[in-house]
Amino acid sequence: MILKSHTKWALLRGVTTNPSLIVKRKKRDLHEVIQQIADLVDGPVSAEVIATTAPEMVQEAHELIKLGDNVVIKVPYDCRRFKSSVYSF
């Protein structure tokens, strides 16, 4: 993983992930990759849910947050899906 060599940089404070690119380019399990990144990086690791309905987003967020204490959940924002953000995590 190329990120491993970059964690030595003093400027690296966190990482944001792009789930569609991870799945498309690496053909790997998204959760596995996010957990590996969370283990390498001391700062926040942003993990975006890929579910499309509010209940599924909440369920996926609960799964993602278990991957590391430094995992921060990103939820897509638009008027139709905004209600997903009012669920308590």
Q: Taking CA 78 as the corner, what is the angle to CA 64 and CA 21, rounded to the nearest 5 degrees?
A: 45
- What gap in Å lies between CA 43 and CA 86, rounded to an integer? 26
- State the average pLDDT over residues 3-22: 69
| pTM for this predicted structure | 0.72
Residue-level pLDDT at 35 = 93
Is there a catalytic annotation at residue 74? yes
Answer yes or no: is pLDDT of 78 > 70.
no
Strands 15-16 and 45-48: parallel
Answer for the pair 73, 37: CB distance below 8 angstroms, yes or no: no
27-72 per-position pLDDT tens digit: 778 888 899 989 988 889 999 998 888 888 889 999 999 999 999 9
Residue-level pLDDT at 26 = 65
Q: Which of 8, 26, 74, 83 is catalytic?
A: 74
Assigned token pair, 16? 């944001």
Answer for the pair 61, 78: CB distance below 8 angstroms, yes or no: no
